Amino acid sequence: MTLTQLRHLVGLAQAGSFAQAARLLFLTQPALSRSIQALEDELGAPLFDRLGRRIALTPLGQEVLERARRLVSEAEALKQVSQGLQAGLIGRLRVGLSSAPGVLLSRPLLAHMARHHPRLQVEISRGNTSVLIDALREQRLDAAVVDVRSVRPAADLRIDQVFELSAGFLVRPGHPLLRRRKALSFGDVLAYPMASTPLSDEVARLLMARYGAQANPDDCVTLRSDETHHLVEVARHSDVVVLTVCAAAPGLVPVPLQPAFDATGRFGMVTLARRSAAPALRIVREALPSWLPADAVSAGPA
């Protein structure tokens, strides 16, 4: 018994004759007759009484027809679900966002999905890069947008859609450092509490190469959090200096250091290399550039 045979049964019952049903089903009449006969042979009894050119359902035919209609309807619904999933219109999408990407992308991602794909279930997880990569490997996430400098190269990970954003030491307007007329040194910054998310080894090396051993984040950073938003809020209401990407701290002002801290935050999308991507992830990939600040620069593959 096949789904095709059940569709033929439903079509024949609706049409009332083999000739009419064959036309509606785009079959030859002999082909339709063979399909129904094979179904009757498998069930062991006639489904239709042949009354000349007309037909009538037998008692077994009535029972089988009701079940066939349900099965055909469920099959059509399943097909629509499959098409919706493949198009990314329904289903579930789980995205991890580390600190700065979370500040920049959470709101536009959720707003876009709510507006354009209201039947798609979207889950955003926040955390540091290592936690999100572990969740990705455990297949609790479909993708993660994180600081790619903190991701160890691995054959099971794919990194793409990498972008860079300007970063710096930022303070509130009116901060005492901004009132100084002389060029500011890193030592001047150290007079105030410094806040940052966990920094990659690459950024730590850059800081120390630029400002010496005093810029070792293990020593100079006094306030740490995985949530950039919290650090920025503290800096808005105190003399804390926060090291982060500028776009994640609207309203804060870069400290004019000498030498300048010409660095960037480097973020990218990480997925599992050997796993089929969630269909809805295509939507994120296509829209991601439009959600980024104007100063974001595409950096190509990691």
Q: What ranges do the domains of the chain cover?
A: 3-87, 94-302
- Which CATH code of 3.40.228.10, 3.60.15.10, 1.10.10.10, 3.40.50.300 fits the domain covering 3-87? 1.10.10.10
Pairwise CA distance, residues 242 & 99, whole Å? 13
* CATH topology match: 3-87 vs 94-302: no
Burial of 148 per CB tally in 10 Å (0-12, 13-18, 19+): buried
Pairwise CA distance, residues 128 & 144, whole Å? 11
Token digits of residue 247: 């776009």
Identify the H or E element spanning 241. Answer: strand 241-245
What per-residue confidence (pLDDT) applies to 255? Answer: 94
Separation of first and last alpha carbons in the chain? 52
Nearest to 239 by CA among 288, 190, 272: 190
CA dihedral over 243, 247, 252, 253, signed as positive or negative: positive
What per-residue confidence (pLDDT) applies to 169? Answer: 96
* Percent of residues in the chain assigned helix, strand, coil, to nearest 5: 45, 25, 30
| pLDDT 10s digits, 24-34 | 889 999 999 99
Average pLDDT, the chain: 90
Pairwise CA distance, residues 84 & 201, whole Å? 43
Beta bridge partners of 50: 55
Is the pLDDT at 81 greater than 60, yes or no? Answer: no
DSSP letter (8 states) at residue 281: H
What per-residue confidence (pLDDT) applies to 89? Answer: 63
- Domain 94-302 sits in CATH 3.40.47.10: no
What per-residue confidence (pLDDT) applies to 181? Answer: 79
DSSP letter (8 states) at residue 257: B
pLDDT confidence of 301, banded at 50, 70, 90?
low
One-letter amino acid at 169 equals F
Token digits of residue 137: 């490997």
pLDDT confidence of 296, banded at 50, 70, 90?
confident
| pLDDT 10s digits, 204-256 | 999 999 999 999 999 999 999 999 999 999 999 999 999 999 999 999 999 99
Pairwise CA distance, residues 293 & 105, whole Å? 10
DSSP letter (8 states) at residue 16: S
Crossing angle, helix 99-116 and helix 228-236, to 10 degrees? Answer: 110
pTM comes to 0.71
Pairwise CA distance, residues 35 & 98, whole Å? 58
| pLDDT 10s digits, 1-12 | 898 999 999 999
pLDDT confidence of 46, banded at 50, 70, 90?
very high
What per-residue confidence (pLDDT) applies to 252? Answer: 97
Pairwise CA distance, residues 189 & 200, whole Å? 21
What per-residue confidence (pLDDT) applies to 74? Answer: 80
DSSP letter (8 states) at residue 276: P
| pLDDT 10s digits, 134-192 | 999 998 999 999 999 999 999 999 999 999 999 999 999 999 999 987 889 999 999 99
Nearest to 296 by CA among 154, 194, 143, 145: 145
Which range has the top average pLDDT, 15-19, 73-77, 84-88?
A: 15-19
| pLDDT 10s digits, 52-70 | 778 899 999 999 999 998 8
Distances (CA, A) of 282 to 13, 147, 202, 231: 43, 21, 30, 32
